[in-house]
Structure 1
């Protein structure tokens, strides 16, 4: 199989999952699409090396995360996004829960949000998250603990607001 065909096959299979992960990080479908395209472009440029990775999907996720963090570091990312929520199949049964969780995740800082998403939505191990973010395992553990505590506070505050 030619390299271009091999890449196209991988990209077609992985694009939707990458876009969903990007959306969970940035909460903007248009930006998620841009980040996915950036990640796939970078992956294509290094395809000869990348295709030898043990876990190509994890490799692509790492590129996506770096693209997201690079985007957040730019000054132009301080603009406010108007929220338009599109339902996905995984949350059709409890859309209120999905919206509440996305709002709570959105109040975390970008790195903490990335840690929570990779650990609990992408099912990465602590070591894998540490590798993706290039931080020690202890940082991932402590930030996960703090982020989950913050999410619990945010979700509890949202519940209290419903009954006020």
Structure 2
């Protein structure tokens, strides 16, 4: 067995879930790929420590969030974003809700966006989210509360959906 086989197996098994998290954090498929790739390079360097008693998935998720927040602190050129489709376009209500929700997510600060992604898309508990973000569970609660309030402001047409259970349904 090659010394990197277990890392390769981890990546193959968790790649889709990690890519989804990266995409939801960045809001852009190409940036998500870059984010995940840069984090996996770092994880590979720590792999022997992680397999010796750590939690590789939790470590990788936390590294994704930390790298994303670090990237958001750097000034970058504005990336063009897709606008809502014309009224004549044929989209079902669920697709339009997802588009509006993702555009509203783009307007959240990095920590609040990370809390929403981890709590509602990744379905982590408050304790797991706090561990991933390196903060107290109370901080997760308050960040979640503020983020949901901000989402309601940025997407008032979805305000009726933006609670703990219904946001999960729109996200899918």
Same fold (TM over 0.5): yes
Identify which range, 18-27 or 51-60, moves more after superposition: 51-60
2:79 aligns to what? Answer: 81
Structure with a larger share of its residues in helix: 1
- Residue equivalent to 1:17: 17
In structure 2, C-alpha distance between the alignment counterparts of 1:50 and 1:84, rounded to whole Å: 39
**Contact conserved, 1:100 with 1:155, CA < 8 A, in 2?**
yes
**CA–CA distance in 2 between the matches of 1:66 and 1:104?**
21
Q: Deviations over 1:55-99 (max 9, x none)?
A: 432221111111111111223x3x2112359xxxxxx98211111
Off by >4 Å, runs of 4+ in structure 1: none
Normalising by structure 1, report the TM-score: 0.82
8 Å contact from structure 1 (residues 53, 59) kept in 2: no
Which whole-Å deviations, capped at 9, do the CAs of 1:108-149 have from their partners, x for residues lacking one? Answer: 111100011001101111112222222222211111111111
May I ask how many residue pairs the two structures share in their alignment? 151
RMSD value over aligned CA atoms? 2.2
Instruction: Give the TM-score taking structure 2 as reference length.
Output: 0.78
Offset, 1:18: 1.4
Q: Which runs of 5+ in 1 are unaligned?
A: 86-91, 160-164
Deviations 1:22-51 (A, max 9, x none): 111111111110000011111100000112
